[in-house]
Structure formats: structure tokens, C-alpha cells
Chains A and B, each alone.
Chain A
Amino acid sequence: MTAGMASPPPEDAGVEAFFHRRGWRIFDFQRQSWNAYLAGDSGLIHAPTGTGKSLAAWLGPLQEWLNSGETGAVGCRVLWITPLRALATDLVEKLREPVDILDLPWQVEKRTGDTPASQRARQRRRLPAALVTTPESLALMLSYAEGARPFSGLRCIVVDEWHELLGSKRGVQLELCLAHLRARLPRLRVWGLSATLGNLDQALKALLGMRGKGLVIDGTLPKRNRIEALIPATLNRFPWSGHLGTRLLPEVIAAVERHDSTLLFTNTRSQAERWYQALLDSRPDWAGTVALHHGSLDRTLRDGAEALLRAGRLRCVVATSSLDLGVDFSPVQQVIQVGSPKGVARLLQRAGRSGHQPGAESRVLCVPSNAFELIEVAAARRAAADNRLEARPPLRSCLDVLVQHLVTLASGPGFRAGELRAEVRSTHAFATLGESEWRWALDFVCNGGSALGNYEQYRRVVREAGRYRVAEARLARQHRMSIGTITDDPMIQVRWLRGGSLGSVEESFIARLRPGGRFRFAGRLLELVRVRDLTAYVRGATSGTNAVPRWMGGRMPLSTELADNVLELLARADEGKFEEPEMAATRDILRLQARWSALPGPTRLVVEQNRSREGTHLFLYPFAGRLVHEGLAALLAYRLSRLQPCTFNLSVNDYGLELLSRNFPDIGADHLKELLSDTNLAEDILACLNAAEMAKRQFRDIARIAGLVFHGYPGRGKSARQLQASSSLIWEVLQDYDGGNRLLEQARREVLESQLEFSRLATCLKRLAAMEIRYTEAGQLTPLAFPLWAARIQTQVSSESWQARVERMAARLEQAAEAAC
């Protein structure tokens, strides 16, 4: 840690006076940031939320204006980009504070999708000195006739929460827009604000472009992080997912009671719904002081919870990653994480949401839902201490975003191909863009695609006097409706029968319900009345089942950094060292695992085989995260079935995988190495997973971003219906009549990279090749095998009989364990 010492108050006027008047101390990193800005530098400031990053970036431009001696109205000098439009209002207030105190003639305004049309029109004529906006709104502004001209006086762009955009297509879109402005304003400085990541240099490169240079400034205060675990009095030797979580409810309630205000994070929205309900069921007297916050709830419900939290009127908010971002919630004294932390950086970011009082420490209390998650907590603490954080790799070569950008710019003053190509290639995202890809993208927006004869009615972008522009104003208007890259699964709005929205759930969940069916959502028990036009009308219910919607995409894999630390801790346990309290608590379980089989480690792959009435089970524990294990399980099954025809049942979790078959081929440790080789990996993976089907699903987002799916104008549902086609239908048509369309290829690549984590899988296989394989014929399910077995059974039977069966098996194994001890 480099920064953080308080400086003696200098007698300087200028922006530092703001700190003196507020009685705040200035941190070295803040002064370092604005000095670098004044010297003409760009940069990236990283620190957890609530350490004063925003001021570090904001005061430089203000000081620069003071130094210039200018007076009078200030033109648009600063663009402030935030990933969430919901944060824009808070940001404007925050930025206005020093402006007001220093009495500067600076206008600070926001412009997002929520901004009224009258204000947007006024802003089109004249922008404020500082404009807070989102990546999508920036792209939208560039699509108007005046293009980048309103920004000609711009000095600085600040990208807030850059870590959140990095690694997403929104980040790629922003990279393109930044490059466009940079090409017109050579002296423009760009500053990013980010949580601490494992790849800060790369994050800086993505922000500044390939030719940009800048500083990485560490704003981590010497505030202490405390990562602790709620250790239950007794631990089951045979843990299964979801079991322990609610058992620890009394302890969690006690922890909530000890503080005025707690943020309780869960990993999924369904878990958040369940915990909210469990808290209120145990403490009905807390009604009104406990709130629920997740991404599928209606905006007004979320806003309400945030306002109450900020006002210090809530005892506890149960939240998902929807509260990872945002301005300070200063009253929060404690953060609780339920379930696996999944990643170190994320846990630290969450911990940073508490302890904003001077001298306080960031404290996160982890509530494991099984014994191995307890080890993850110790692993997270180690990784945090060593500063081994996850990287968030920026995306590259997203042609869908590129074609959208081409149409965006063509909707405005238009572009020249050569100039724009240079601009696009200056970004990190498209630095390796080949000539043929560039030509294809340009062709795509002009002619539709390479299969020319099949696009005879198509006209979108045309070349006139060397400039590419949209063919008709109508097409530009239509494009503006669909600017943006955030895409959602088809969602069903949930509304009260009498009016008022509660939020949205996935279509597939509602499709399983019939009118009269009950479910829990937004913290309430609801009864479905009818579904019409993508809206589910509900009324309150007083009793019924506990069905909670499950949202897709909530299953983030365990990070490599965390998994590696878990393996190291297991290796130490193998040597008899149980230093951390979490390790001491799991000692019995780990010893049993070692006795019945072996403990995995950084250089040891544990493989267990056993037989049951169901057939032969093979368990492997590579600790590479569930996505990699999914790929690995499918790969093994595929390669085994080539030795001898057989069918497998597969089960995976973050630690390992299970293969079950009635006629399992005979394989030993040596043969297993061959089966795990990385030769022909890509071909085998594509052959064994239903990659074609997955690519078709992945294409849904791509089609929307590239403008192949048009959602129509608001309020003109009927006329847009003529232009509706599902993305899977478009996928098939493209495959049949324009197979060379590169968006198809992109979908296949994205499936490999993001859905299957192909590179992580390849790395994992390389590592496994060098490992010692400890092969055991285990007599029964080991503590590591049990949760895999339980998860597989869950997919086969109803939930009641599942619970009973898993409890029976756990009891039987407990007996065996007692006998063994």
C-alpha cells in the first residue's frame, strides 16, 4: 500500500480549501491524482468503494479551471460515465458538493434514459460543464447529427466503476466511443475508477487504448479488512449445498442484532428471497426494518430500499450483486456474505461496503452453507492478504458491438472508412482486428453480408462522397431505439392485478405455473391470476407453497485464485497443519476424507471410484470451478464412450465432478492421464457438448446487439410485429443462406470462451497432466463425493423425496464415519 498518510493542511487556496472547509483530510493518492491530471496525464485509480476515489478524479479538472483564470459560463469540460443510470442522481449530488462549497459557476447535470425529453433537448443545444451519463447515452449522443461536436471543449472523461464495465460488451462499446472522442481531442485525459483487480495494467490499457499512456494509482487506504466466518458449533461431515445455510439462521440473527445496520449478501436472487423470508419468519418484529434488494425487483422497490438504507432506517438489507455498486451507504456497519464468496476481489468489494466511519475497519462475516465453504473463507483471507486478486479480462473482437458502433456513427455526421478503421484499431478490444473482419463489418452494415444476392432489398448504410451515412432518417431513428448492449433474457413483468409493478421473473418460471399457482417473489407470497402480453398479473396470497423463482445466470464459478488457495490449505491440512479457525473446525471432516481416500492439493489430483446399486461412480476433484468441471465431465464421458459404448450420468460442483455409469469401462490411473490429455481438446469439446445448440442460444444477444432483432417502437406493438423473428430462427436462416456471416462464428467463439471457459479448461488439463493422481477404490461416498452425489439425485427426484433420501444417506455415512474414528 503506497498511499494513505494524511497530509498537514497546506495554506493553499483552490480545491484543497474544500477539504478544509469540510474538515476532511486529503489522502496522498488524491493529491497525486489531481497533480497527475494537471500535468496532462491519464490514469486509473483503484480502491474499494467509499475511499474518496471520485473526489480524486473530480478535483483535478476543477483545479485546472481555477488555474486557467477563466470566468463566465463553462462549456462541457467533464464527462462522467457511470455503469448504472440509477447511480447518476447520487453522483450529480456528490459532484455538486465541492462546486457549491467552492462557489464555482459549474453546471453539473445528468443525462440517462430517465432524463426528461425537454431537458435532453436543452442539453442538445448546450451541454453542462460536467455531464453524468451512461455508456449507452454517450453512444446515443454520438448518433445525432452534430456527432462529437458538442464535446469539442471536453478536457476529461471519468469512467466510474470501470471494473464493472470491463469484461462486458458495454465496456467494448465504451472503448469505441472513447476512441472516437480521443481521435478528435488529442489532449483529452481519461481517468478510470475501479475496484482493485488482478489485471490493473490491462484494465488501464483497455481504458486508454493501445497508444495511451497513464498511471495506475493505488487508493487503498490502510483500512483493515477483516474476513471472518460464522463457524457452527457442529459441522456435518457430509455437507450438501443449501443445508447449512438456514441452520445458521439464529447465529445470523444474533449478528444482525449486534449492529445497527447490516448488508446481507447472497449469491443468487432466489437465495435472497429465501433469506429475507427466513429473517422475517423468525423475527416478525423486524417487519419494516428489513428490506430486499435484487436485480429483478422493480426499480421503485429498489430505490425505496436504498433510500431507507442511506437514511439509516434499516436494520438489514438482503441483497445480491445489485448492491455491489453504488455510492456509499455510510450507515452500514456490517456485511454478511451467505454462501461461497466465489472470488476474492468480489468479497473485498463487498466488505468495503461497511465501515465508512473514520477509523472503522471493513468487516465481512461469511456464512458458509457447507463445510468446504468454510475453507473457502480461510482461502479468501489468505488470498486477500497476499493481494492475489482475480483478473477481469476485457473482451476482444466483438463484431456485434462493432457493427452497432458503425451504424451509430453513420446515424450522425457519418464516417470515413480509413479514419474509423484506425480509430477502431486503436482500442484494446479491436487492436487485433484483421482487414477481412473490418471489411466484413463494413459490408454487413452496407450490403447485409457476403451472400449479396440474398440481400437485394437491404439498405442501411450508404457511401456518399466518401462518407458512410445511414440511408434514411427513419433507419437512424430505429437504430437509436436499440442502441445499447445490455440484453436480458425474455422476462415476464410481475404486476399487481390492481396495478403497480413488482419486478420481473424469467418466462420459463411463469410458464410452469398455472393460474392459481403460488410463488414467493419480492418478499411476498403471490398467486398468479393470469398471464397476458409478457405480464403476469398476481394478487397476494396468505398461504401456499414455497416456490421461489430461479433466475438463470446466477451461477458464477469459484475463481482460480480462491480455488488455488483452497488447494494449498488442503495440502497444509494433509501435513497436519490446521492453523486457521475455519481449518480447525473442519479438521474431522478433512481427516475422514484423508482416511477414506486422500486430500487434494496443488500437485495432487484425487480420484475415487466406488460401486453402488446405481452403477460405478468415478469422482475427480480438480478444484477448477463448475464451468470447467462441466466441460471436463462431458469430455471424459465422451472419450470413455469411445472406448466402449456406455451412457453416463454427470454431476459437477465447484470442487469436482462425478461420472456414473452402469457399464463403466475399466480404467486405471495411467489410462486416466490419457483421457485427460489436451490433444484434440477443441474438437472433442465441440463434439461432446451440444455446442451447436449452445451457440444458437448465445446468438440471441449477438443478434440483438448487431441489429438483427428489432424490438420496435414503444407503443407501436402491432406494426412492429411484422418484423418479429426469434433469434434462433434467424440463426437457422443465416446458417442456410449466409453461412459466411461472421456473427455465427462469434457466437461459437463466445460459447467456448465465456460459457465453457475454454482457456481455463485447457490450462486445467495442462496442470492435471503434471499432477500425481491418487486413485482410490473408496468403499463409500467420501465427504467430497457426497455433495456431488446429492446434487445429482436432486435432478432425478422430487424435492421432498430428495431431502429424505439425502438425509438417510448422510446418516448412514455418519455411522460409518463414527465407526472409522
Chain B
Amino acid sequence: MLSIRWHGETLRMHWERGLYWPAMTTLFIADCHFGKAAAFQRQGIPIPEGSNRRDLGRLDTLIEAWRPERLVVLGDFFHAPPSPDESLFRDFRRWREAHSCLDITLLEGNHDRRLSTLAATLSLRWETGPLPLPPFSCRHEPSDSSPVPTLCGHLHPVLRLRTGRERLRVPIFWFGNRQAVLPAFGSFTGGMPVRLRGGDRAFAVGDSAVVPVRA
């Protein structure tokens, strides 16, 4: 597991796109977009569901790897409000029961506004504003004006790599000077190519490893 020192703290990165803060036994993920395929289906677009279960399984992997006491989701946990007849709902309830001791905080993202009641029924903490976890602040969308180092999501950052003839787009953990952006956790999510600035550090997420990359 690759580690990074950032603003005096040690943070670990997992290829299942989770960031772990051992000092606080806290696991961070961002942009799960659960229920995205169902949202498409309700609009008459036949995208198969299935990534929800896999993604819950990946979340299990992260939890087993680090046994965190707390999970903080940096926004966009749900893609759209799930309907109560959705199997996602049942799957998620079952998953929550299996991890009943885990303290889960959801930060509100741009996709999952108006879900506070739903969060309550699943015994999840719901935070609408930035969440301070000194020395960090946690939020969904990056903010250049934040006075403290910020952990965030929203961007789904990917890096375009070119090696000879091959081209590759890889999701990255992106550590800037004051801002760290997590890769999107959900399998059914796209990415936004980003340009690294001087001093930035980036870590590419592969199938079974996280590796540092240069722009």
C-alpha cells in the first residue's frame, strides 16, 4: 500500500480507490454514484445495473484492509434518489447491517442533494457543509479559497498518459499544494482529464496497485 506524507499526516492509498488516514482510523472515498444505471433506466436508456453490488464488494475490501472506525464519503454517494422498490435499496440496507459499527458520514454532493431523510433511514450521518477534521477540511467540490488543506472529490480526476503508441487514461489521487482530490470510487463513472501543476503529486490507480506518475 502506497503512502504519502501530506501536511504532516500519513495517508495511504488503495487501488480500490480509497484513502486511509491511520492516525484517525478514517477511510475516505468520493463519488460512488450508486444507482446511476437505474437513473438512466428510468429515462428509458437501457444501461444494465450490476456495478452497485460490485462496488459494495469493493468497499468491503477497503474495510477489511484497514478496519477503519469511520468512513467519510466526500460527496455524490448516490447518483440520484433511489426508488424504494430498487434492489439497490435492499442491497444497501443489508450491507449497512453487516457494518453496523462503522460510523458513516456522507457529505452532500451536487448529485445527492435532498437525501438527508434517506440517509437517516440508513443510519448515515449527513453533512451539508465542509467537515473539519483538523488539520484537514473535507468537502465535495474543490475550493481554491479554503484556508486549510482540503480533501475533496467531485472532479473524477484522470491523467492521460502516452507511452510511444499507447495511450492510457488512468484515474489518479491528485495531491496539490493545499488540495487533495480523490479518484471517483464508483465503477460506472467517467473521468475528467486534468493538467498537473508544478509541485503536484499524482498517483495512478491500476487494477492491483497504485503507482506514482509524472505528468
Closest to A738 in B: B48
Judge whether A455 and B111 touch: CB under 8 Å: no
Judge whether A456 and B46 touch: CB under 8 Å: no
A730 to B188, CA, bound (A): 8
Instruction: Give the one of B48, B86, B187 with max A CB within 10 A.
Output: B48
Number of inter-chain CB pairs below 8 Å: 94
Judge whether B49 and A737 touch: CB under 8 Å: yes
Known interface pairs A459-B44, A460-B44, A729-B188. Does A737 touch B50 (Cβ–Cβ under 8 Å)?
yes
Known interface pairs A722-B80, A725-B190, A729-B190. Does A457 touch B86 (Cβ–Cβ under 8 Å)?
yes
Residue A451 lies at the interface, judged by CB distance under 8 Å to chain B:
yes
Partner of A454, one of B49, B80, B187, B189: B49
1/0 contact trace for B125-167 toward A, CB 8 Å? 0000000000000000000000000000000000000000000
A733 to B188, CA, bound (A): 7
Inter-chain contacts of A444 with B (CB < 8 A):
46
Partner of A725, one of B40, B42, B86: B40
A733 to B46, CA, bound (A): 11
Interface size class of chain B, counting residues whose CB lies under 8 Å from the partner chain: 20 to 34
Closest to A708 in B: B45
Closest to A726 in B: B190
Q: Which of A428-473 contact B (CB under 8 A)?
A: 444, 448-449, 451, 453-460, 470-471
Inter-chain contacts of B79 with A (CB < 8 A):
722
Closest to B167 in A: A693
Instruction: Give the one of B42, B47, B80, B187 with max A CB within 10 A.
Output: B47
A458 CB to nearest B CB, Å: 4
Inter-chain contacts of A479 with B (CB < 8 A):
44
Residue A723 lies at the interface, judged by CB distance under 8 Å to chain B:
yes
Judge whether A457 and B38 touch: CB under 8 Å: yes
A643 to B132, CA, bound (A): 62
Instruction: Give the one of A456, A458, A479, A738 with max B CB within 10 A.
Output: A458
Residue A710 lies at the interface, judged by CB distance under 8 Å to chain B:
yes
Q: What number of A residues sit within 8 Å (CB to CB) of B?
A: 34
Closest to B35 in A: A457
Residue B72 lies at the interface, judged by CB distance under 8 Å to chain A:
no
Partner of B49, one of A455, A459, A707, A741: A455
Judge whether B44 and A707 touch: CB under 8 Å: yes
Partner of B44, one of A458, A724, A726, A737: A458
Inter-chain contacts of B85 with A (CB < 8 A):
456
A736 to B48, CA, bound (A): 9
Residue A210 lies at the interface, judged by CB distance under 8 Å to chain B:
no
Residue B26 lies at the interface, judged by CB distance under 8 Å to chain A:
no
Judge whether A475 and B44 touch: CB under 8 Å: yes
A708 to B47, CA, bound (A): 7
1/0 contact trace for B73-87 toward A, CB 8 Å? 000000110010111
Residue A734 lies at the interface, judged by CB distance under 8 Å to chain B:
yes
Known interface pairs A723-B39, A725-B40. Does A448 touch B80 (Cβ–Cβ under 8 Å)?
no
Partner of A478, one of B39, B43, B83: B43
Inter-chain contacts of A707 with B (CB < 8 A):
44-46
Known interface pairs A725-B188, A733-B37. Does A455 touch B46 (Cβ–Cβ under 8 Å)?
yes
**Which residues of B line the A interface, CB within 8 A?**
36-51, 54, 79-80, 83, 85-87, 111, 187-190
In the complex, besides A459-B44, A479-B44, A733-B187, 4 extra interface pairs with C-beta distance below 8 angstroms are A456-B85, A722-B79, A723-B43, A741-B48
**Which residues of A line the B interface, CB within 8 A?**
444, 448-449, 451, 453-460, 470-471, 475, 478-479, 707-710, 722-726, 729-730, 733-734, 736-738, 741
CB-based closest 3 A-B pairs: A737-B50, A448-B46, A454-B48
10 contacts between A and B (CB under 8 A): A456-B41, A457-B49, A470-B44, A475-B44, A708-B45, A708-B46, A722-B80, A723-B40, A733-B50, A737-B49
